[in-house]
Structure 1
Amino acid sequence: MPETGNGRAYVAQTSAAVGRELRLAMLLADMLPVARTIRVSQREPECTWPSPYARAYDARGRLLPLNRAQCRTAARWVMRAHPEANWNEAHDLDLATGILQRAGEAYRTVAGRR
């Protein structure tokens, strides 16, 4: 069985799991109405220790300002909704589809190099 980057096997998602992902994306879109993508990682730029951190980007890829509460809340929600992800790497959550991808994969898909 193929494995993910963190050593866990891929598992087919149920419709309930897909529904939860879309609900999460809708809640985050309500909290950050202009955002199109949220990048989540465990590394805050100013900290040397792991700390949930999120950045929001609009449809053009411009960084949107987040306050500390929005940043931490969004990161924690995404991390708890996707415990199978390898959080040693940054991940992008598409708020339109609810799909979570590693940050590098999201760029390859946009560039058409998938």
Structure 2
Amino acid sequence: MPESWTGRALAAQPAKTVDPTADTRRRRLTVLLADMVPAARVFRVSQHQPSQTWPSPYTLAYDEQGHLIPLNRAQRVTAARWVIRAYPEANWDEAHDLDLTTGALRPAVQAHPVADGGR
């Protein structure tokens, strides 16, 4: 076992597990979300619903022009939970945008504004 400069043996580091099916599941997620809300192009996901002070999964959907698409409560919560579970490594203290055409997840502050002035 390798030793450190103090002469004591180094503690074993846990192996990082790589999930080879993560990309496949994320692609399936974008397909499912597109089926759930056919006109949607972007889902903005957050753990903080605007009207509540406690954490609550929340989703907004936008079309290609950046216009808000109305979702019912079941769609908002279900979509948020699916995206949060598919991307556990993301910092969910801030909102993220999931682009359904590319499958890219990025923080909402880095989201590209739509030319029409939406979002």
* TM-score bin (small chain): 0.7 to 0.9
Q: Please tell me whether the aligned partners of residues 21 and 99 of structure 1 are also in contact (alpha carbons under 8 angstroms).
A: no
Amino acid at match of 1:77: W
Q: Which residue of 2 aligns with 1:51?
A: 56
Secondary structure at the residue paired with 1:60?
coil
Matching residue's letter, 1:99: A
2:28 aligned partner: 23
> What is the TM-score when the length of structure 1 is the normalising length?
0.79
Instruction: Decide whether the 8 Å contact of 1:35 with 1:58 is kept in 2.
Output: yes
Matched-pair contact (CA < 8 Å) for 1:22–1:97? no
Gaps of at least 5 residues in structure 2 are 1-15
Mapped partners of 1:95, 1:34: distance in 2: 11
Query: Number of matched residues?
Result: 99
Report % sequence identity: 62
Larger-Rg structure = 2
Structure 1 runs not aligned, ≥5 long: 1-10
Look up the equivalent residue of 1:56 and give its one-letter code.
A
**Structure with the largest fraction of helix:** 1
With the length of structure 2 as denominator, give the TM-score of the two structures.
0.76
Q: CA RMSD in A?
A: 2.1
Query: How many Å apart are 1:18 and its aligned residue?
Result: 1.9
